[in-house]
Amino acid sequence: MFAEHSHRLSAGLMSFLTVGIAFAVWRYDSRAWLRKLAWFAVGFVFAQALIGGLRVLFDHLHIEMVNTSVGRIFAMMHACLAQLYVCTLLAVTLSLTKAWMKPSSSAQRQDPPRWRRLAVICVALLVLQLAVAAVMRHSFAGLAIPTFPYSTPQGNLLPEAWNFRVGIHFTHRFLAVVLTVALVALAVQISRDRLANPYLKQVGWFLVSLLALQISLGAASVLTYRNPYYTTAHVIVGALTLATCFGLAWWSFRDNLQARLNPAGPLAASDRPAYART
Nearest to 139 by CA among 174, 176, 175, 168: 168
Residues whose CB falls within 8 Å of the CB of residue 183, separated by 6 or more in sequence, listed in order:
122, 207, 208, 211, 241, 245
Nearest to 112 by CA among 214, 205, 218, 249: 249
- Per-residue pLDDT of the chain (278 residues), as tens digits, is 998 899 999 999 999 999 999 999 999 998 899 999 999 999 999 999 999 999 999 988 877 765 778 888 999 999 999 999 999 999 999 999 988 887 655 445 557 789 999 999 999 999 999 999 999 998 889 999 999 999 999 999 999 999 999 999 999 999 999 999 999 999 999 999 988 889 999 999 999 999 999 999 999 999 999 999 999 999 999 999 999 999 999 999 887 766 655 544 444 444 455 555 54
Length of the chain as a residue count: 278
Ramachandran class of 265: left when φ > 0, alpha when ψ lies in -120 to 50, beta otherwise: left
Q: pTM of the prediction?
A: 0.87
CA angle 34, 91, 10 (to 5 degrees): 105
